Amino acid sequence: MPTETTPRLELRSITKAFPGVLANDQVDLTVMPGEIHALLGENGAGKSTLVKIISGVLHADSGDLLWQGEPVTIPNPKAARALGIGMVFQHFSLFEALTVAENIELGMDHSGNRRTLEARIEEMATKYGLPLEPRRHVHTLSVGEKQRIEIIRALLLNPKLLIMDEPTSVLTPQEAETLFKTLRQLAREGVSILFISHKLGEIKALCHTATILRGGRFITSCNPAEESPKSMAEMMIGERLTPPERSDTDHSGVGRLVISNLSAPAESQFGVKLDAIDLTVRGGEIVGIAGVSGNGQSELMAHLTGERLAPSASMISIDGVAVGRKGPSDRRDMTAAFVPEERMGHAAVPDMTLVDNALLTSHRRNGFTLRGFINRLKSEGYAQIVCDAFRVKHRGIRHAAGHLSGGNLQKFVIGREIEHTPSLLVANQPTWGVDSGAAASIQQALIDLAQGDSAVLVISQDLDELLTISDRIAVLHDGRLSQARPTGDFTIEDIGLAMTGHEMADNTGPSEQNNTRSAT
């Protein structure tokens, strides 16, 4: 690291309160030139509030902010950009109806000629392995592709301080390492990087220093190279971390979910067509689907939920019933449950209360409604059960879902589905952007559900997660699904390469129908 002794950024006693919540409580933070500095904490620990203050989105109630040794006030994001602060948010600030280039242009004070900007976007996208078509409309993009816009927009500003919130959540291990090489080069050139990630292995490998927040307060600083992911996680949550545990069970029963030769055209010129997908998920097992975002995950999920109907009813069966031409409500009536990728707006309505969000997928179950009337007592009780069982931190079940942190909302959405004990659960990115403690609890809940003879299908870009919880793993690339094989047959590097289109080595003999953990 450079030997400059004046901090690039220094926060002193930063405090920020919202109604009923003290988000930041006398927080101190120092980031040096050329330092890759991790900001760690549970969901709701105050990380997002702090970086929004640094980037001019929010203003502190009290405390001082120094930039390169001088006290400054950052009234808005434009002022932050003028100082040289670039920000990649976990939740995107994008206009769905505009193109990639138009969205990036809106975030730049001097973007220049549109054609020149598009060329710069393509150059940056190629350089960092983040494919983007500048003229593509944002509403056609997956969540992962939307994050690429935020990363490229920040890098185009040539920042002195780059704040990155979960930047690798949609990358393969190989792509993440490419990004790390870039970040290390930027650091050598004197750029400071404030790095937020729940992948503590990445923190250990990449970051020089880590600041840990808990409950809105500064807890400690450490050198990640001298810690383990487990020790950092325990500093974050303030208690011992219990990793997910599972026992081997017999998965030789009849498939609860059977996908047979599912093929479907792309909905738009930018979509992905599904090509002859075959997969069986049996009761008692977890099957993981790996893949880089934008390779058909959204399309496959839409067909599994019934939001998009299959060309033929027989292409998708649940518990032996052909449902390819049935909608979401009919499939839920068959005790299937679904957790979509986008928790805010798709899985939950931000302006609705937790009680009403619990009803969104439960109104036809358990007597929550009768002849068009809502049983408020039952629905409120159910929302409270979900919050208690999944340790959801909230201001009250009658408060809006939009008030929850991302991780707590994710726990609520997962809990809302699991508490019904569905015979089939399909979850798309179940732990995206959540902290280690929350991820472990969600993963354990998925394992427990499967061990109760439910079938669980997990679509995820977190390979560590898939290797931890899955009995079998398949890879989705360009709308084609590889054969699902026992998890123990592969390394994270094998799957990462398959996610980029390389053929997975066939280390097994049994067919897809018999290739389960119990057959090995």
Domains of the chain, CATH where assigned: 1-84+159-238 (3.40.50.300), 94-157 (no CATH), 255-519 (3.40.50.300)
Token pair belonging to 144: 């992962």
Question: What pLDDT was estimated at residue 520?
Answer: 30
Cβ burial, residue 499 (10 Å; 0-12/13-18/19+): buried
Q: Tell me the residue type at 224.
A: P
Mean of pLDDT over the chain = 86
Question: What pLDDT was estimated at residue 517?
Answer: 37
Averaged over 281-294, what is the pLDDT?
90
Question: What pLDDT was estimated at residue 408?
Answer: 85
Tell me: pLDDT of 238 over 90.
no
pLDDT in tens, 70-85: 999 999 988 999 999 9
> Residues near 273 by Cβ (< 8 Å), separated by ≥ 6?
263, 264, 265, 266, 296, 299, 479
Averaged over 209-234, what is the pLDDT?
94
Question: What pLDDT was estimated at residue 1?
Answer: 46
**CB-CB contact of 485 with 515 (8 Å):** yes
**CB-CB contact of 153 with 104 (8 Å):** yes
pLDDT in tens, 317-333: 999 999 999 999 999 98
User: Which of 61-75, 408-422, 474-488 tops mean pLDDT?
Assistant: 61-75
Q: Which of 278-287, 323-332, 405-414 has the lowest mean pLDDT?
A: 405-414
Q: Tell me the residue type at 413.
A: V
> Residues near 133 by Cβ (< 8 Å), separated by ≥ 6?
100, 270
Question: What pLDDT was estimated at residue 345?
Answer: 83
Averaged over 478-490, what is the pLDDT?
89
Q: 422 versus 249: which is more confidently predicted?
A: 422
The CA distance from 446 to 469, in Å, is 8
Output the pTM of the full model: 0.75
Averaged over 354-366, what is the pLDDT?
83
Tell me: pLDDT of 25 over 90.
yes
Tell me: pLDDT of 102 over 80.
yes
Q: 222 versus 373: which is more confidently predicted?
A: 222
**CB-CB contact of 459 with 297 (8 Å):** yes
Tell me: pLDDT of 100 over 90.
yes
Q: Which of 145-149, 236-240, 414-418, 457-461 has the lowest mean pLDDT?
A: 145-149
Tell me: pLDDT of 470 over 90.
yes
Averaged over 102-123, what is the pLDDT?
86
Averaged over 16-20, what is the pLDDT?
88
Q: What is the 3-state secondary structure (H, E, C) of 76-108?
A: CHHHHHHHCEEEECCCCCCCCCCEHHHHHHHCC
User: For the stretch 128-138, what's the b/e string if a residue is b when 16 or more beta carbons lie within 10 angstroms of its beta carbon?
Assistant: bbbebbbebbb
Angle, vertex CA 199, rays to CA 194 and CA 203, nearest 5:
45
The CA distance from 33 to 82, in Å, is 17
Averaged over 23-39, what is the pLDDT?
96
Tell me: pLDDT of 256 over 80.
yes
User: CA nearest 197: which of 176, 242, 167?
Assistant: 167
Tell me: pLDDT of 237 over 90.
no
Question: What pLDDT was estimated at residue 252?
Answer: 62
Q: Tell me whether strands 255-264 and 286-290 are parallel, antiparallel or unpaired.
A: unpaired
Tell me: pLDDT of 514 over 90.
no
Averaged over 475-479, what is the pLDDT?
91
**CB-CB contact of 81 with 87 (8 Å):** no
Question: What pLDDT was estimated at residue 144?
Answer: 66
The band of 507, judged by pLDDT with boundaries at 50, 70 and 90, is: very low
Q: Tell me whether strands 286-290 and 217-222 are parallel, antiparallel or unpaired.
A: unpaired
Q: Kindly write down the DSSP assignment for every residue of 375-430, as one continuous string.
A: -HHHHHHHHHHHHHHTT---S-TTSBGGGS-HHHHHHHHHHHHHTT--SEEEEEST
